[in-house]
Amino acid sequence: MKHRKGRHLAKSLWAALALASFLAAPIRSVLAEDLAAADRVVVHKAEHKLYLYSGSRLLGEYKVQLGLSPSGQKEREHDFRTPEGRYHLARRNTRSDYFLAIQVSYPNKEDELRARKNRWAPGGSIMIHGFPNTPKHPAAYYESSDWTDGCIALSNSDMVEVWMRTQDNIPIDIYP
């Protein structure tokens, strides 16, 4: 009986490794030296691009999707805008409703003051994340439309790369 359990465990382990290899296949193969750590993230909303930098060296450029109403500064909760300004990467969430998630430190002091002046709630929970774990639309929708509530979304393979190249507390500048 013991021998069968060991053989079953070995088969399961090989199956898991094969599945992991299959799932990783579409992800761009990246050499170790190409995975330099970023010390800054820059998003240009008009370009729908996220850039990773180490000093002045560009490490990567990624296509992003934004909030449903991407133009303009996020002013309040539920306005579907992606914020603009200087923030930092605050924390990581592997249990998000989306494929990996890194929280952006929105709102900053300026955002809070602007919202308070207008008697609005500034909103929060702005993330950089991948596609939904339970999609409601075909993949093409998530790849070609602004669809988030104000977050910055990447393809899942790009999200893995951004996740691996960044750490908490590095700055993120979000430009119009």
pLDDT tens-digit profile of 71-106? 999 988 999 999 999 999 999 999 999 999 999 999
CB-count exposure of residue 67 (10 Å: 0-12, 13-18, 19+):
buried
Q: What is the tens place of the pLDDT at every residue in 1-24? A: 555 544 444 434 443 434 444 455
Query: Is the pTM higher than 0.85?
Result: no
| 61 lies in some domain | yes
What is the edge-to-edge ordering of all strands in the sheet holding 171-175? 57-63, 49-54, 40-44, 171-175, 85-93, 101-104, 127-129, 152-153
Is 152 within a domain?
yes
Query: Does some domain include residue 154?
Result: yes
Q: What's the domain range around 121?
A: 32-175
Number of domains in the chain: 1
Average pLDDT over residues 103-127: 93
| pLDDT for the residue numbered 118 | 92
Contact 152, 104 (CB under 8 A): yes
The CATH number assigned to the domain holding 74 equals 2.40.440.10
